[in-house]
Each structure stands twice: as C-alpha cells, then as structure tokens.
Amino acid sequence: MNGVDEPWADIYNDLDKKSIDMLGAMTITDSRKEKFYFSEPYYKPNLLLISRAGYKTNQYQQLSELVGERIGLVEADYFDDVITQRLPKKPLSRFSSQDKMVEALLNGDVDYVPIGEGNFNKLMTTERRILPVSQAKSISTEISTGVSMAFQRTALGKDYAMLFSEAFPLVNVKYIVNFHGLQPDWKSALLAEKKIYSVYSGFFYLRCYVLTFIYLLFIYSNYDRFVI
C-alpha cells in the first residue's frame, strides 16, 4: 500500500516494477496498455486548464497555442502525456504533487496548470480561502479516454482486470463517482459559509460586550453603596 502523500510518479513506477498489484485510478493510454492490464473504464475525466484569475482571459482557443506560456504539470500524470503530445518541443515545469503545482501557479512561477474537474472542485472546497484562480474556458481540453483500475501485466493481473470489469455492473459506479467528484457552485457555498461565520462571530463579540457592560454596572453599583 502506498502513502497518501506519495508522489504519483513513485506510485506509477511501483506498479510498473510490480511492487504493488494494482492502482485504483489510472487514465488509459496506448502506451500504458503495453505495460498494464486495465478494467473497463468507469469514469471519463474532464480536464480543466487553470490560470491565475484574470490572466489573458479568452486569448487562446487550443492547447497548442500556449507555446509562449509557462505550464506546470504533475510528473508522470496523464495530463503530462496530454500536454507533452500537443506541445512536444516545449519545456514544461513538472512537480511531484498537485499541491506543489498549484502553489507554483499562485506564486507566479507558472501561468497554466491542468487539473481534473473533480480534483479542482475538491481543492476549492477544502481550502479555507477563495483561491485567486480561474478556469481558462476558451481553451479546448476535450479528452476521449477514460479512467479505470490498472493491474500488473501478468496472467493474474489480466484475470483481476476481467473480474473488476464484470463487477462494475453490480454497483452504481456512476452514482459513487458523482457523489464524491461533483461539487456544484463551490464558490457560492464557500461565500455562504464565510457569511455565516461572520454572523456567528458578530454574535460572540456582542455577547462579550453585553456581559462586560453588565459586570461593570455591577462593580459600580457596589462601589456606590460602599461610598454612601
């Protein structure tokens, strides 16, 4: 079993070296089919291209036009393959994790980063602040492949891939994926949460003020009695 914070490239290499038996989510590509066995795809990723808020809005329409921009990627991730194929001669900045990639974007070290829609929604809802980033909606990022379970390229791995494919119809995979992956209108939800927090904070400070005022009245009333 791999650690939660282990770089994707290390996990990928562990499966490639047969140090682990399976990988729970891997995007299918022709080159990966030569290395692993795959179950039937259970999810089609929706790629988003993210930039800093307000950066060159609607200036580009295709990924291939970003030859003059700095692009960040998670090393060995599927989106690494996608960007590399469309910009084969362009130097790209690769990071060991999504967190480091997003941090580089916020720091201005890169201009665009690719991220799956589910991961983007998760990022925006778990952050305790509204990140100053936006989706480059004018740029086409259509993907034709899907995500599936990946197994060692062995006889046992082939059997596992077949069994997992046969098991998918027994559960509502689409419902599970949507339940965990879709976060509609995350910005409004976060703003509403912050508004509620502000209201509660206001009540707290008002209560402290009233209690302090009552306490002072009590002190002064006792002091007046003492003087009389």
Under the banding of pLDDT at 50, 70 and 90, the label for residue 195 is: low
This model's pTM is above 0.85: no
One domain, residues 111 and 205 = no
114, 79 Cβ separation under 8 angstroms:
yes
Total domains in the fold of the chain:
2
Q: Counting Cβ atoms within 10 Å, is residue 86 exposed (0-12), middle (13-18) or buried (19+)?
A: middle
Same domain flag for 61 and 166 = yes
Distances in Å between the Cα of 91 and the Cα atoms of 1, 59, 178 are: 33, 21, 35
The verdict on 105 and 196 lying in the same domain is no
Q: Is residue 2 part of a domain?
A: no
CA distance 203 to 219: 24
For residue range 14-72, list pLDDT tens digits in order.
Answer: 999 999 898 877 888 888 889 999 998 887 777 888 899 889 888 899 888 888 999 99
Q: Are residues 145 and 210 in the same domain?
A: no
98 CB neighbour count, 10 Å cutoff: 19
Band of pLDDT at residue 189, cut at 50, 70 and 90: very low
In a domain, 51, yes or no: yes
- 156 and 192 assigned to the same domain: no
Host domain of residue 209: 185-228
Q: What is the mean pLDDT of the chain?
A: 76
pLDDT tens digits for 57-109?
888 998 888 889 999 998 878 788 788 888 888 999 999 888 899 999 999 99
One domain, residues 87 and 193: no
Residue 3 belongs to some domain of the structure: no
226 shares a domain with 128: no
- Regarding whether 174 and 203 lie in a shared domain, the answer is no
Residue 158: the pLDDT is 92
Same domain, yes or no: 47 and 140: yes
Does residue 182 contact residue 176 with C-beta atoms inside 8 Å?
no
* DSSP secondary structure letter of residue 204: H
- What is residue 113's predicted lDDT score, i.e. its pLDDT? 93
**CATH number of the domain where residue 145 is located:** 3.40.190.10
Same domain, 99 and 196: no
Q: What does the alpha-carbon distance between residue 156 and residue 158 come to, in Å, rounded to a whole number?
A: 5
Domain for residue 117, yes or no? Answer: yes
Q: Domain check: are 216 and 105 in the same one? A: no
pLDDT tens track for 126-169: 766 678 888 888 888 777 777 888 999 999 999 989 988 888 77
